[in-house]
Structure 1
């Protein structure tokens, strides 16, 4: 049976590539994890070029303050809660559609796979909570699912899903197997999605920063 779509592998964007920010003016943009860190800079950048930004975060105080400062829309959103991500997308849809989605929410911290515990003759190992892995990978998978669905509600748009990965998506990251696995995972998610744009109708890419001071 012939394939239902043509496989067309894409190339990485050259480091020196430029773009016209005017193309983003008036676009409806969603950013997860947008209240601080890289996400905050992403929100500010899109607002600066004239996009309408709706962003989610678990930090209610910082999110509301940033939204008030910039004239953006904030939705309290834990990316592991499907209903909260759904509300984030529905708020954006109220503004006419969804053009760009930035799956940025992520977490680093103490790794529960390698976490040490007291050893006695009788104790068993504690179950790891794997929160880092779940937020960084399952949360992004939720975002990708919602983006694919709601992009179809916005015709005549250059739909784009951007995933915040990490240099840890490409290299060994000692002492952080949860984080390392999650970031390799989102890179794998991107590579599958980008190769099926004939079905999904969206461009997909990752950005892979290293440690960023704030």
Structure 2
């Protein structure tokens, strides 16, 4: 699919992997809507790439729909990238064996609501809009790429909520691709490994910690960078024969229990 001149919506697009996707889409000639909760970073990135910022909480259907409408106003809306997500770490039961110290259920529900339900909500709304597009020469009306995680497969201790949410994204990829095949919309998912984002902090201690983490990667022995993930996202968008697939981009890592 040719993404030159199309309109694209990126949730969680203000920074990290989402931000790298925004930059590469814009560099490829797409008109990008940056959808994020972070006003300052989102607006700054939109200004940088000549895009549009829309404040979006992906647990709010009305806000997602408003972002989709904004993307439609920009032009030929054919691209959705779901990168919005949160993480929490907590063991399933507490050390004292009391009910009250078991995993916080509201925290579990929130991660599922943002990462999984938010992803599906964005897909169903964006795909509805894309279904009105005229098909291109390949019969395509649009393409969706979701960001999951290797935690979907190699969830570590304390990652029950996060792994559940990302595993859900992996699980919906094929059935949703099958649903949307009828209208010529492809769906793929990219599952990152250890990626160098601001979550690790800055300074000497942070760099030492990241270097230590990188030793667990098969090859190359380092953390990935957001641009490497964004490159795979764009390949999934451009390659018209990529559909219903989950692609790990992780340097060959298989995460240990902890």
In structure 1, the gaps of 5 or more residues are 1-19
**Distance between the aligned counterparts of 2:151 and 2:80, measured in 1?**
22
Summarize deviations over 1:145-177 as a string: whole Å, max 9, x none: 112201112222431010101112223332110
**Distance between the aligned counterparts of 2:123 and 2:79, measured in 1?**
11
Instruction: Report the equivalent of 2:50.
Output: 71
**Distance between the aligned counterparts of 1:123 and 1:194, measured in 2?**
41
- The TM-score with structure 1 as length reference comes to 0.81
**Distance between the aligned counterparts of 2:52 and 2:38, measured in 1?**
14
Q: CA deviation at 1:193?
A: 1.3
Query: Where in structure 2 are the equivalents of 1:99-178 lying within 5 Å?
Result: 99-111=78-90, 114=92, 116=94, 127-130=105-108, 131-157=110-136, 158=140, 159-178=142-161
Q: CA deviation at 1:54?
A: 0.7
Q: Please, what is the CA RMSD of the aligned residues?
A: 2.3
In structure 2, the gaps of 5 or more residues are 198-258
Summarize deviations over 1:57-110 as a string: whole Å, max 9, x none: 000110111111111101000000001101100001112331111011111133
**Distance between the aligned counterparts of 1:115 and 1:45, measured in 2?**
42
Query: Where in structure 2 are the equivalents of 1:76-95 lying within 5 Å?
Result: 76-95=55-74
Corresponding residue SS for 1:170: helix
- The TM-score with structure 2 as length reference comes to 0.68
Instruction: Report the equivalent of 1:15.
Output: none
Counting matched residue pairs gives: 191
- Which of the two has greater helix per residue? 2
**Distance between the aligned counterparts of 2:131 and 2:50, measured in 1?**
26
**Distance between the aligned counterparts of 2:160 and 2:115, measured in 1?**
12
Q: 1:82 to 1:68 in 2, by over 3 A?
A: same
Corresponding residue SS for 2:8: strand
Corresponding residue SS for 1:212: coil
Q: CA deviation at 1:124?
A: 8.2
